[in-house]
Homo-oligomer: A and B are copies of this chain.
Amino acid sequence: MTATAVHETLAAQPLTDHHCHGVVTEGLDRPGFESLLTEGAPWPGISPFDTPVGVAVRRHCAPLLDLPRHAPAEEYLARRAELGPREVNRRFLTAAATDVFCVDTGYTPHPLTAPHELAEAVGGSAFEVVRLENVAESTVRAGVEPDAYGAAFRAAAEEAVRQPGVVAVKSVAAYRTGFDLDPARPTDAEVTEAARRWLATGGRLADPVLVRHLLWTAVDLGLPLQLHTGFGDNDIRMHRVDPAHLTDWLHLSAGTIPVLLLHCWPYQRQAAYLAAVFEQVYLDVGLTLHHVGPARARAVLEEALEITPFRKLLYSSDAYGLAEFYLLGALSFRQGLGALLQDRVEADELSLPDALRIVRWTGSANARRLYGLPSETVPRRD
Contact = CB atoms under 8 A, between A and B. Distances in A.
Interface in A283-307: 291-296, 299-300, 302, 305-307
Interface stretch (A38-46, A76-84, A201-209, A372-380): A38-46
B302 A302 contact: no
Contact of A277 (B40, B50, B58, B266): B40
Given A52-B307, A59-B349, A305-B52, A312 B273 contact: no
Contacts of A349: 55-56, 59, 293-295
A234 B278 contact: yes
Given A52-B306, A278-B234, A295 B350 contact: yes
A239 B248 CA distance: 12
Contacts of A233: 277
Contact of A292 (B250, B307, B311): B307
Given A59-B350, A306-B296, A310-B50, A237 B247 contact: yes
B238 A40 contact: no
Contacts of A231: 273, 307
Contacts of A278: 40, 234
Interface in A269-284: 269-270, 273-274, 276-279
A159 interface: no
Interface string A238-254: 11001011011011000
Given A237-B244, A277-B233, A296-B302, A348 B59 contact: yes
Given A45-B369, A55-B354, A239-B270, 18 more contacts: A40-B277, A40-B309, A46-B309, A48-B309, A50-B310, A55-B349, A236-B247, A236-B277, A237-B244, A237-B248, A238-B242, A239-B245, A265-B269, A266-B269, A291-B307, A292-B306, A292-B307, A293-B349
A-B interface, 9 closest residue pairs, ranked by CB to CB distance from nearest: A238-B244, A266-B269, A70-B351, A234-B277, A239-B244, A43-B279, A40-B277, A292-B306, A51-B309
